[in-house]
Structure 1
């Protein structure tokens, strides 16, 4: 960090103050119902595949899913891996911590480019079948068909995974399940979807289900900026405020060059104003003091949405948002030694 940047940022915020705790309380009724329906169908399931965002491998994972992990073979897909800043050491720490949570089988995926990746065809489904056959299947023992349950929080790629694995194995065109960029688009537990015919394998798609109680604002905002919570719940300007705070507090100033700024900025509205002005997104608004005049106002909402889109699409670089979780793990290891 240069001396100039250090002098500028040493007065920046050291704590994020949320304007609302609405993000902690978002748990729609259909999620409660879906948990009940999943438990009811679990007796017919051979293996559980959980999909989560690789940028936040710990934040937001529903602790109720651990019940399923204990009852059935389980695979965790950390998706959007291409957007995550995960080096060899960080991957080791992630996997060590996940093992303490009962997760032993992990794949890192970028499901948006599944046609180019052999992992779906050559590894994930064969591993699911191998894990199933390595344990008693109880009332399903001897059944030649395999049923796989796909679970996860909203908008991490569950439906994309089902469509991708179906295409990889049976080359069926079209989408078996709807894909969207809005958290919670899948609302019901769907019928069986065949994804393989030798052996015959079906998957059950499920709605995205968050933990009923998000522990703190930091975890909630990370879920929001990763689009696991609908943008309208938190608001793009509030999410942009948290994202800007996170980038500055982690000394990730890539955004300065990306947007052509002179220096890092702490105030979100100063930052959004710069983006709006650079992109000529200025609105004419009536002056409240003199109703006969108009003033030019930066389009903060447009700028906030662009900032979030650039982050989510990887234009601002690769990021790993759960370093605080790994720091806890490292602290525990040091204390043991």
Structure 2
């Protein structure tokens, strides 16, 4: 975390705006507080809540209001793979914020430089690729993406995402807060793919997910997994699910019986 943050700070003097990307399913949990104190405090800052299609639609207005109350004035729910979900609003918003900022040592520069930051696996590389495709018409991947955390390992060189205005973006490694001491937050981040499964444990993750579903009175898992009724015992749920899916292993006993 320390090395990655230092690399990002060294690039900060050439940056005009910070884009912080976070998972819309956990909009108020797991954000690294060092991003605001060490990176975004002196630069225009936009919070992008990605994977908006997976978030609770009834909570969005409440979340945005709470973020404004906490000092985040510019926040958008987006979906990187669907431009109509506010992705098309990012470049105009950022350009307006930069024009209204002092830009400090970059007042004479024509190009706009952005830095995208966030915890692991929230879609930073996917955002860059989506913006390039939208504003430059370029397909393919300018920066590598993956379904697991930790694909981007270092601060990359700037990547052009727009011609008018001329805008470049720096991809950065995902950095978790070193003080993720709340077990519930850690479990939520793991379920969203922001932490590697083995760091938490897949059974523990499944147990927490089952607890959360029951707490929300969401029993859709009963039909999906082929269960008879709601259950709060993860071992029983996993056992019955394995039987229904025929995901069983035949083991020879000491007596030679299967």
TM-score bracket, normalised by the shorter chain, equals over 0.9
Corresponding residue to 2:25 among 42, 55, 63: 55
What CA deviation, in whole Å up to 9, does each residue of 1:88-121 have, x standing for no partner?
xx2232122212332111111111233xx27333
Q: Deviations over 1:115-149 (max 9, x none)?
A: xx27333x111100100111101110131100000
Partner of 1:224 in structure 2? 190
Could you tell me which of 181, 188, 204 is aligned with 2:154? 188
Tell me which residue corresponds to 1:238: 204
Alignment partner of 1:171 is 2:137: yes
Q: Shift of the alpha carbon at 1:222?
A: 0.3
Alignment partner for residue 100 of structure 2, among 110, 125, 134? 134
Count of aligned pairs: 257
Q: CA deviation at 1:291?
A: 4.8
Matching residue within 94, 102, 119 for 1:153 = 119
Q: Following the alignment from structure 2 to structure 1, what is the Cα–Cα distance between the partners of residues 165 and 233?
A: 57
SS in 2 for 1:40: helix
Which of 72, 76, 95 aligns to 1:107? It is 76
Report the more deviating stretch, 244-253 or 56-65. 244-253
Consecutive unaligned residues in structure 1, runs of 5 or more = 1-30, 295-337
Distance 1:144 1:255, change over 3 A: same
Q: Shift of residue 200 of structure 1?
A: 1.5
Instruction: Give the distance between the partners of 1:155 and 1:255, measured in 2 at CA.
Output: 25
Q: What TM-score, normalized by structure 2, do the two folds share?
A: 0.95
State whether residues 182 and 227 of structure 1, in contact with CA within 8 Å, keep that contact through their aligned partners in structure 2: yes
Instruction: Could you tell me which runs of 5 or more consecutive residues in structure 2 were left unpaired when the two chains were aligned.
Output: none
The one of 274, 279, 299 aligned to 2:245: 279
Q: CA deviation at 1:197?
A: 1.6
Correspondence 1:82 to 2:53: yes
Q: State the secondary structure of the residue aligned to 1:107.
A: strand
Question: Which portions of structure 1, spanning 4 or more consecutive aligned residues, are displaced by more than 6 angstroms?
Answer: none
CA distance in 2, matches of 1:44, 1:170: 22
In structure 1, the partner of 2:170 is 204
Q: Return the alpha-carbon distance in structure 2 between the equivalents of residues 167 and 243 of structure 1.
A: 36
SS in 2 for 1:202: strand
Q: Which residue of 1 is the match for residue 13 of structure 2? A: 43
Shift of 1:282: 1.0
1:119 aligns with 2:86: yes
